[in-house]
A and B are shown apart, each in its own frame.
Chain A
Amino acid sequence: MKKSAVYWLLLPGFVFLAAFMVIPIVLTIGSTFVQENAFTLDGYLHFFKDPYFLKILLTTLQVSVVTTLVCVVLGFPTAYYISRKAPRRKGILLALAIFPLLTSPVVRSFSWMIILGRKGLINNALVGLGLIDQPLDILYTPAAMMIGLTHLFLPLMIISLVGVLENIDQDLLKAAQSLGASRFTAFRRVVFPLAVPGLVIGAVLVFVGSLTAYTTPALLGGKQRVIATFLYQNAMTLNDWYLASVIAAIMIAITFIVVGVMNRMAKTLNPKG
C-alpha cells in the first residue's frame, strides 16, 4: 500500500470522533460564552460566586482525589504481586481483579447499600459486637461514594500498573541491590520510577472516572450532590441547559488540567518514561 493511502484508513475513526465528540464539545463550550448573541462570562461568574455550586465542586474534587489515592495505595501492591506471577496464574488473578468491571454499577451500588446502610452488615456487626451504640452514618455520605468509586475503578488502576510492572526486568532489581541498595531502596529508585507511566495512566483513568461518575454517587451519595448528578439535575429536572453546559465545560477543563499536571509530574519523576 502506498504511504499516502494508509492515511485513508484513519478516515472513518476520524469522522466518527469529529462528528460525535469534537464538534459537540466545541459547540457546548462555545455556547457557554454566548448569551443573547453577545460574548459573556456570566455563566462562569455566576457559578464561581455561588457557595452551593462551589461546595459541590469541592466535594467532587475531594471524592475524586481521595478515590485516586486509595486506588494507588491499594492497587500498587496488588499489581506488583500479580505482575511477579507466572503467566497462567497472572491471567487468573487479573481476571479476578477485573471482575468488578463486569458487573452493572447499579447492582454494585445496591450491594454497597446493603453493606453500608444504617441496618447494613457493617453497622449490624459493630453494634452486635458492642463497639458502638448508635449505627454510623456511612451510606449517603462522601465516604460511601469513595468506597463505591474505589470498588468501581480499582481494576483500572491495577490493569494499568500490571502493564508496566510486568515489563520491568527482574535483573534491574538485582543490579540495584548488588550496587548497595536495600530491597526497599531498589524498589523506590528503580521499580517505582519505571512504574510511573502506568501509575499516571491509572490515576488519570480513576480521577476522571470519579470526577464524571453518575450512577455510583447518585445511588450512594443520597442528597449529597457531585457535579455529574448536579449537571443531570439542571439539565433534566430544572431544564437549565445553559447552566448544565457551563458545568460540563468546567468538567472538561478540570479533566484537561489534571491530565496535563499528571503528565508533567511523570516527566520529572521519569524523564525517559
Chain B
Amino acid sequence: MALLTLDQVSVAYDNQTILKDFSLELEKGKLLSLLGPSGCGKTTTLRLIAGFLEAKQGKFLFGGKDYTRVPVNKRNFGFVFQSYALFPHLSVYDNVAFGLRMRKVKDRDVSERVMRMLEVVNLNGFEKRFPQELSGGQRQRVAIARALVIEPDLLLFDEPLSNLDANLRVNMRVEIRRIQQELGITTLYVSHDQEECFSISDQVAIMNKGIVEQLDRPETIFKYPATEFVARFIGFHNFIEFDERSDAGDAISLKVGGRLFTATANPGTVRPGARKGAIRPDDLIVSGDTGQEAANALPGMIKVSTYLGRSYQYVVETELGDFTANQEMETPYFSGQRVNLIFPQDKLVLVE
C-alpha cells in the first residue's frame, strides 16, 4: 500500500478551482517529482499535503491514517521552500535546532543531532553564522538540514534549486538525491525543470492545469509519453495526426492522406485509439537521397537551417506541415534543398 494517497481532492482559491479530483500515490522511501509548467498547481499540491491549504473535497491519507484535517504542526513533514525561508534572526545552529526544540528534545540531544545533520549537508563549522552571511547554496543546505533533522515522515521540496546558478543546481540535485537515498526518506519534489526531475526521481508526475497527465518512471516518460502535452513538454516537437490506425501483431499501420507509416508496437504505441504520432527532432532522419521512396519517408524541402554546435537543426516543409530535425553532419543541407524525412519505426510514438 502506498504511504501517501491523495484521493480525488479538489482545491480552490476564492472561486477559482486549481486542483479538481486530483489523485496521487507515493510509496515509502521513494522520490516522486511533480513536473509541469508554471501555474499548473504544483505548489498548491505541495501546500495541500503540507497542510497549509485545506481541500474542499477529497481525502488525504498518510500511513493509512486520514490526514485531511491534521494541522500543519502535527504532521511531522519537512518542507523546503523555494525562498528557503530561513529564520533571519537565528544562527544556522538555531535554525536547524528549531524543530527539535519545538519537540522538546533535550539540549544535549539537540546539539548532537544538529551537528550530525550539518555534517550530512557538509556545513560543519558554519553553525554560528547567520543566514545573511551564507551563499545561496549554503542557505539551501541549511534549509534541507532544518527539514531533515526532525526526521520527517515525508520531505517536501518546492523548486528548491531555482534560485541557484546552473553549476550549483547540478551539484545540489545530486546532493539531494544522495541524502534522500542515504536516509531512505520519502520525498515529494516539485520543479519545472525537466532534467532536474528526471535525474533524481524514482517517479515523475507530469502536471498540466491541475491534473496529472502521466505518472511513471522517468525513463518510461522520456521514451513513451502518454499525451501530446507530455510529449511536447519533454521535447517531442513533431506531431502527425493520422487518419487511420490498424494494429497487427508487432506492427501498427498508420495512414494519413495517401501515405502509409508503420510503428513498432511498444509501450509508447499500444495505447488503444491513440492516433497522434510524435517524434523527437533528434530521432527524425533527414536524408539527402530523394531517389526512391523509402519506408516511413516523407518528402520535403529544407526551410531553415541553424547550427546547434554538435548538430544542425533543420525546419523541413512537407505536405503534412513543418517538421524539426537535428542531425550531426559534416556539410549541412542548404535552404531549399529537397530531402526525405525518415521516421524510424521504433522511434515513432502514439499519444492521446
Residues of A within 8 A of B (CB): 169, 171-172, 174-182, 185, 189-190, 193-194, 270-273
In the bound complex, residues from chain B placing their C-beta under 8 Å from that of A272 are: 88-90, 130, 132
Looking at B83, B85, B98, the one whose CB has the most chain A CB atoms below 10 A away is B85
Q: What's the dominant secondary structure at chain A's contact region?
A: helix
Query: Known contacts A272-B130, A272-B132: does B87 contact A178 (CB below 8 Å)?
Result: no
Interface 9-residue window, one of B74-82, B263-271, B274-282 = B74-82
| Nearest opposing residue in chain A for B72, CB measure | A177
Compute how far the CA of A190 lies from the CA of B83 in the bound complex, rounded to whole angstroms: 16
In the bound complex, residues from chain B placing their C-beta under 8 Å from that of A177 are: 51-52, 72-73
By the criterion CB–CB under 8 Å, are A185 and B102 in contact? Answer: yes
Residues of B within 8 A of A (CB): 50-52, 72-73, 75-79, 81, 83, 85-90, 98-99, 102-103, 130, 132, 146-147, 150
| Nearest opposing residue in chain A for B50, CB measure | A178
Closest CB-CB distance, B153 to chain A, in whole Å? 12
Contact partner of B150 (CB less than 8 A), chosen from A179, A182, A270, A273, is A179
Query: Known contacts A174-B52, A174-B72, A178-B78: does B102 contact A190 (CB below 8 Å)?
Result: no
| Nearest opposing residue in chain A for B82, CB measure | A171
By the criterion CB–CB under 8 Å, are A171 and B81 in contact? Answer: yes
Give me 27 A-to-B residue pairs in the complex whose CB atoms sit less than 8 angstroms apart, sorted by A's number: A171-B83, A171-B85, A172-B85, A174-B52, A174-B79, A174-B81, A175-B146, A176-B87, A177-B72, A177-B73, A178-B72, A179-B73, A179-B98, A179-B99, A179-B147, A180-B103, A181-B98, A185-B102, A190-B87, A190-B89, A194-B89, A270-B89, A272-B88, A272-B89, A272-B130, A272-B132, A273-B89
Compute how far the CA of A247 lies from the CA of B75 in the bound complex, rounded to whole angstroms: 60
In the bound complex, residues from chain B placing their C-beta under 8 Å from that of A189 are: 98
Q: What's the dominant secondary structure at chain B's contact region?
A: loop
Closest CB-CB distance, A272 to chain B, in whole Å? 5
In the bound complex, residues from chain A placing their C-beta under 8 Å from that of B150 are: 179-180
Closest CB-CB distance, A145 to chain B, in whole Å? 36
Nearest first, the 3 closest Cβ-Cβ pairs linking A and B are A180-B102, A179-B99, A171-B85
Closest CB-CB distance, A58 to chain B, in whole Å? 36
In the bound complex, residues from chain A placing their C-beta under 8 Å from that of B132 are: 272
| Nearest opposing residue in chain B for A194, CB measure | B89
Closest CB-CB distance, B211 to chain A, in whole Å? 25
By the criterion CB–CB under 8 Å, are B79 and A178 in contact? Answer: yes
By the criterion CB–CB under 8 Å, are A169 and B85 in contact? Answer: yes
Closest CB-CB distance, A131 to chain B, in whole Å? 43
Closest CB-CB distance, B230 to chain A, in whole Å? 31
Compute how far the CA of A179 lies from the CA of B99 in the bound complex, rounded to whole angstroms: 5
By the criterion CB–CB under 8 Å, are B102 and A194 in contact? Answer: no
By the criterion CB–CB under 8 Å, are A169 and B83 in contact? Answer: yes
By the criterion CB–CB under 8 Å, are B89 and A179 in contact? Answer: no
Closest CB-CB distance, B348 to chain A, in whole Å? 45
Contact partner of B73 (CB less than 8 A), chosen from A181, A194, A273, is A181
By the criterion CB–CB under 8 Å, are B81 and A175 in contact? Answer: yes
Closest CB-CB distance, B162 to chain A, in whole Å? 14
Given A178-B78, A179-B99, A270-B89; 18 other pairs, CB 8 A cutoff: A169-B83, A171-B85, A172-B85, A174-B52, A174-B81, A174-B85, A175-B85, A175-B87, A178-B51, A178-B73, A178-B77, A180-B73, A180-B102, A182-B73, A185-B102, A194-B88, A272-B88, A273-B89
In the bound complex, residues from chain A placing their C-beta under 8 Å from that of B87 are: 172, 175-176, 190
Closest CB-CB distance, A16 to chain B, in whole Å? 35
In the bound complex, residues from chain B placing their C-beta under 8 Å from that of A181 are: 73, 98, 102
Closest CB-CB distance, A222 to chain B, in whole Å? 45
In the bound complex, residues from chain A placing their C-beta under 8 Å from that of B90 are: 272
In the bound complex, residues from chain A placing their C-beta under 8 Å from that of B73 are: 177-182
| Nearest opposing residue in chain A for B131, CB measure | A272
Compute how far the CA of A273 lies from the CA of B130 in the bound complex, rounded to whole angstroms: 11
Compute how far the CA of A174 lies from the CA of B87 in the bound complex, rounded to whole angstroms: 11
In the bound complex, residues from chain A placing their C-beta under 8 Å from that of B102 are: 179-181, 185
In the bound complex, residues from chain B placing their C-beta under 8 Å from that of A194 are: 88-89
| Nearest opposing residue in chain B for A197, CB measure | B89
| Nearest opposing residue in chain A for B77, CB measure | A178
Closest CB-CB distance, B114 to chain A, in whole Å? 13
Closest CB-CB distance, A40 to chain B, in whole Å? 48
Compute how far the CA of A272 lies from the CA of B75 in the bound complex, rounded to whole angstroms: 30
Closest CB-CB distance, B100 to chain A, in whole Å? 9
Closest CB-CB distance, A170 to chain B, in whole Å? 9
Compute how far the CA of A179 lies from the CA of B110 in the bound complex, rounded to whole angstroms: 14
Compute how far the CA of A169 lies from the CA of B84 in the bound complex, rounded to whole angstroms: 11
By the criterion CB–CB under 8 Å, are B99 and A180 in contact? Answer: yes
Closest CB-CB distance, A18 to chain B, in whole Å? 36
In the bound complex, residues from chain A placing their C-beta under 8 Å from that of B77 are: 178
In the bound complex, residues from chain B placing their C-beta under 8 Å from that of A169 are: 83, 85
In the bound complex, residues from chain A placing their C-beta under 8 Å from that of B89 are: 190, 193-194, 270-273
Compute how far the CA of A175 lies from the CA of B96 in the bound complex, rounded to whole angstroms: 12
In the bound complex, residues from chain B placing their C-beta under 8 Å from that of A171 are: 81, 83, 85
In the bound complex, residues from chain B placing their C-beta under 8 Å from that of A176 are: 87, 98
Closest CB-CB distance, B151 to chain A, in whole Å? 12
In the bound complex, residues from chain A placing their C-beta under 8 Å from that of B99 are: 179-180
| Nearest opposing residue in chain B for A177, CB measure | B72
Closest CB-CB distance, A107 to chain B, in whole Å? 42
In the bound complex, residues from chain B placing their C-beta under 8 Å from that of A182 are: 73
